[in-house]
Structure 1
Amino acid sequence: LPPPSRYGDHYEWNKAVTCVHNVLSPQRWLEHYGEVTIRNTKSDICTCKISFVKSRYWTSETSKNEVQGQVLNRAGEVVHRFGGLWHEGIFCDTLPNPQCIWKPNTQPDDHFQYYGFGRYARELNELTPELKKVLPPTDTRYRPDQRILEEGDVAGADRKKEEVEQKQRDRRKELAKKGEEHVPRFFRKEMDAAGNEIWLSNGTYWKIRERPGFANTENLDLWC
């Protein structure tokens, strides 16, 4: 099982808006903007508020991707301030010695040829021999249209995507005829402190993966 948090903390945050500009142009670029609040559900000792600043048409290239943030105590007083550019680095100027507190990993030399993906993004769909032994067949790394697209066959990926999604629609219709609904295997639906509907792990995935293993259980046939 994954190790518990070292301090027992549990953080929740909302997502900023992500926008891809010039999506049909070779000069496309990605922007995040909006307010993000990070809270520790186990303690109210501090809260972090981050503002991803939306760029303007007249904004220079050197000031895009600006981030400004504050750490507040439970009384709402600012105890730390930080800022910078999320594609370069974030700096905190209220520490005894102002310093860089975060910076992105260096992009691979050929990242422009791979949609700007870094190493982490490239490896999300990787299937190693070790993983194949333990993953359930429903894992999206087995999704065929995704794999075909990764191999560069766009037309083939589109055809396979339609097959996969039609199979999902057919399965939903069959359940509806029986008056049944699909029950997620590894997740449960709950409401968070703000009243938002969220999905949480039900704690079964890692237990089944360890014993008896997905190769020894009944699994849905999701992919064509």
Structure 2
Amino acid sequence: MTKFLQILKYLISDFAGAEVTWNAWAQTCEFAPERPVRLQLNGEDYQWNKITTHIENLIYAPEDRNVYHEGTIKELSGEVLGANGKAYCKFSGIWDKNFVREMESGEKEQLIVVADYPLHTQYFGFSDFTLGLNELHPEDRAGLPPTDSRLRPDVRCLEEGKLDNAVAYKYELEKAQRARNINEETYKPLWFVEKMDEFANTRMYVTNGKYWEAKEAKFEQQKKNNAFIPIFNVSITN
């Protein structure tokens, strides 16, 4: 587990930017990201903006919904240049198919291939990766914070095929969330601090470096100090 955590430390950005403003009317929803995505890699700084997404026909089956974006990007291409300006390799890809590297010799390699999931129409249009995000192994429970989304009682019931309980839990969770909003409760993030980022010219949430240490200790100190908000502590009547 320790080795796994050490590897993950180098795969995760120090910046967080998951805030989204959403508006809904009739059968249409709009999701507008509020902050840019920031990445520092090998001494270089990168920034890009997430696109605003619109979904029409929300109550229809996935194949009958209309999803569109502002500035949709479907293809990408690029080159790796040497100091002399010569291209040593090229990259190209289509967002939902593949990502290919072509060397100077003409040799091509498929770096990423998006596999079809034959049963996706029966599972909310989810891919294998998406389905795996809700998977909860018994041996993982002890190392998770109580706010991990895999511990949501409605999600667990849905995964286990208990649909009536899933609906009941979802109702109670949303009711508790509305109560917190009405009371204007505010919280201080445990793992991030808000700072002005000069490169992006906006305020960004940056990691305080404490998460991985807490995870390796199975969040024992935070649980002891009641540092976590009990957002999933709701009950239903069967």
TM-score range, shorter chain: 0.5 to 0.7
Alignment of 1:6-155 (within 5 A): 8-9=42-43, 11-18=46-53, 24-25=60-61, 27-28=63-64, 52=73, 66-71=74-79, 79=87, 82-92=91-101, 95-151=104-160
Q: Is 1:220 aligned to 2:229, yes or no?
A: yes
Q: Is the 8 A contact 1:175 1:182 kept in 2?
A: no
Query: Could you tell me which amino acid in structure 2 is paired with residue 141 of structure 1?
Result: R
Q: Is the 8 A contact 2:91 2:100 kept in 1?
A: yes
Change (3 A) 1:72 1:115: same
Number of residue equivalences: 191
Q: 1:116 to 1:166 in 2, by over 3 A?
A: closer
In the other structure, the counterpart of 1:161 is 170
What is the root-mean-square deviation of aligned Cα atoms in Å? Answer: 3.9
**Which residue is 1:41 aligned to?**
none
Q: Which of residues 190, 193, 205 is equivalent to 1:188?
A: 193
Distance in structure 2 (CA, Å) of the matches to 1:155 and 1:78: 62
Instruction: Compare relative contact order (CA 8 Å, sep 6+) and give the higher one, 1 or 2.
Output: 2
Question: Shift of residue 129 of structure 1?
Answer: 1.1
The structure-2 alpha-carbon separation of the partners of 1:95 and 1:117, relative to structure 1 and needing over 3 Å to count, comes to: farther
Question: Residues 162-185 of structure 1: CA distance to partner in whole angstroms, max 9, x if unpaired?
Answer: 321322333345565xxxx31111
CA distance in 2, matches of 1:78, 1:22: 49
* Mean CA deviation greater in 18-27 or 84-93: 18-27
AA at the equivalent of 1:69: S
Identity %: 28
TM-score where L is the length of structure 2: 0.60
Native 8 Å contact 2:100 2:111 kept in 1: yes
Partner of 2:215: 209
Change (3 A) 1:201 1:71: same
Change beyond 3 A, Cα 1:27–1:216: same
1:147, distance to aligned residue in structure 2 (A): 2.8
| Structure 2: distance between partners of 1:171 and 1:26 | 32
Query: Residue 6 of structure 2: SS of its match in structure 1?
Result: coil
